Amino acid sequence: MDWSRIIIALVLPVLIWLLTFGILAAQMAFLLVFETRIASGIIDKKHLDYALATLTAALASQYDQHVAAPLISSFYPESLKEEVRGAALLVIGGLSVLHVGVAFHYSISHVTRFSGRSLLVFQQQVYEKDPTSVRLLWIRIFNLIGLTSMALVALAHVYVFTATLDFNKLDSLPIFVAYVAGLSIAGFTTFQARKLILHFPSNLVLVAKLNQIMAQNAKPRERQRSLSPRKSDQIGWARQELLHVSRMLERLARQEDAVSGHDVQHPIAAIYRAVADDIRLYWGSPKSLNGPLPGPLVTTLRATQGFIITGDATWRRHIVRRLSVFDEDGKPRPLATAPAGRNAIRVVRVSGRLIDLSLAWIQQRWSAIAIVIAAVAVILGVLDLETLIGLAT
């Protein structure tokens, strides 16, 4: 058995995905600089930013022509390289123009109501308090979401490459199965990468998550029920997102504490922890089974978002007063709940549970998986019917 070819067949789809996603992530970095500079030049009349935006566009163009397109086409046969290179330039350029246009449009639009599929909505007070920060926030969040889309584009490129592949090279069943497994690993990696990006502990992700929760909460009750995985839990659609928000607030609190040192808790960290504590209290209470998110919690989420974006004292005082963040001596009050631990034992336990679930899923569907692989192998000529019947008997 040619193990070297089997390993190459297994790794190749994942390698193509990683390379494509890395190339597109670098392109997103160029777009972020360009969009923020051009917005600053047009809206804030900073003429130096025009020059920086022009320089960034020129660098991005050189990157596309001399780095991105040649690397993407390097996996293809010589007869297809030139065609793939032109197609790659066209796709990257088209995606970039579309992304810049949409990001710039929304960065100068005051979106204050959830309309249609719009999730990036900010309160009117936020626009009035700090419009420049809101414009930059719009662009950065849009680029963050765009990065998750680039993970899907990279996966699409893997399947485009597969469609152009000479299947005579997959001339044995182990090599074919290894390549199919590589495709599955690339797909799994894609969705895990998107989750990792959207769970990154930053203000951008937190603001986007808060908007997502409030957008879903603004929908009719019937629509909310349809989003919940269990009918007995009417806010099932929000539970996981609320838990993510509380964890991100805890992470941001630890970042704030790192500024003040180990001996003193930063007051902003105390505010973040109090909001996370309030979310966990609601999350685990029977009240969370009664219907949509309660008004006081939504108000707290809005105030938290406004405080994170602008740092305005009005929202800070609202949170401190409603959640009694500090006691009479000005010290942070004790929390009613504790954040979920993430020690090594918990990681091992969760990993074991995932392995058990994966094995159970495979055991329930192994016959269907085998049939699909065998059928595809027969269609592609990798496996003949006589051999298939022999294996079956």
As a whole number of angstroms, the distance between CA 179 and CA 173 comes to: 10
d(CA 381, CA 379): 5
Q: Specify the higher pLDDT residue, 133 or 303.
A: 303
- Residue 276's alpha-carbon distances to 73, 271, 382, in angstroms, are 48, 9, 55
- Give pLDDT, residue 111: 65
What whole-number percentage of the chain has pLDDT above 70?
Answer: 75
pLDDT reading at 115 higher than 90: no
Which of the four pLDDT bands, split at 50, 70 and 90, describes residue 349?
very low
Task: For residue 149, give Cα distances in angstroms to 101, 130, 142, 152.
Answer: 16, 29, 10, 5
Q: Concatenate the DSSP letters of all residues of 137-162 into one string.
A: HHHHHHHHHHHHHHHHHHHHHHHHHH
User: Whole-angstrom Cα distance, residue 285 to residue 95?
Assistant: 45
Instruction: Give the least confident one: 136-145, 214-223, 275-284, 293-302.
Output: 214-223
Among 121, 130, 141, CA closest to 32: 141
Q: What is the pLDDT of residues 244-300, one digit of tens each?
A: 889 889 888 888 888 766 667 788 889 999 999 999 998 888 888 777 788 889 889
pLDDT in tens, 40-88: 777 677 778 888 888 888 899 999 998 999 999 988 888 888 999 999 9
pLDDT in tens, 51-63: 888 888 889 999 9
pLDDT in tens, 301-313: 988 988 888 888 8
Average pLDDT of the residues in 317-321: 90
**What is the mean predicted confidence (pLDDT) over 191-198?**
85
pLDDT, average across residues 18-37 = 90
> Can you give the pLDDT at residue 276?
92
269 and 292 in contact (C-beta within 8 Å)?
no
- Confidence at residue 171, expressed as pLDDT on a 0 to 100 scale: 65
Considering only residues 152 and 213, tell me which one the structure prediction assigns the higher pLDDT.
152
**Which residue type, as a one-letter code, is found at position 282?**
Y
The pLDDT, as a whole number, for residue 376 is 55
pTM of the model: 0.69
**DSSP secondary-structure letter at 332?**
B
Name the pLDDT band for 37 (thresholds 50, 70, 90). Answer: confident
Specify the pLDDT at position 344. Answer: 45
Pairwise pLDDT comparison (212 vs 19), residue with the higher score? 19
Of residues 350 and 109, the one with the higher pLDDT is: 109
Residues 331-348: tens digit of each pLDDT:
888 888 877 655 544 554
In the prediction, which pLDDT does 261 show? Answer: 65
What whole-number distance in Å separates Cα of residue 247 and Cα of residue 341? 10
User: Which sequence spans correspond to the domains of the chain?
Assistant: 3-197, 210-323, 350-392
Mean pLDDT of the chain: 78
User: Up-side HSE of residue 325: CA atoms within 13 Å toward CB?
Assistant: 20
- The residue with greater pLDDT, 216 or 156, is 156
* 3-state class percentages of the chain: helix first, strand second, coil last, to nearest 5: 80, 0, 20
Q: Which of residues 215 and 314 earns the better pLDDT score?
A: 314
| Joined tokens for residue 9 | 């067949």
Is the pLDDT score of 154 beyond 90? yes
Tell me which DSSP letter residue 293 carries. Answer: P
Has residue 161 got a pLDDT over 80?
yes
Q: Tell me the DSSP string of 166-223.
A: -GGG--SHHHHHHHHHHHHHHHHHHHHHHHHHHT-SSHHHHHHHHHHHHHHHTS-HHH
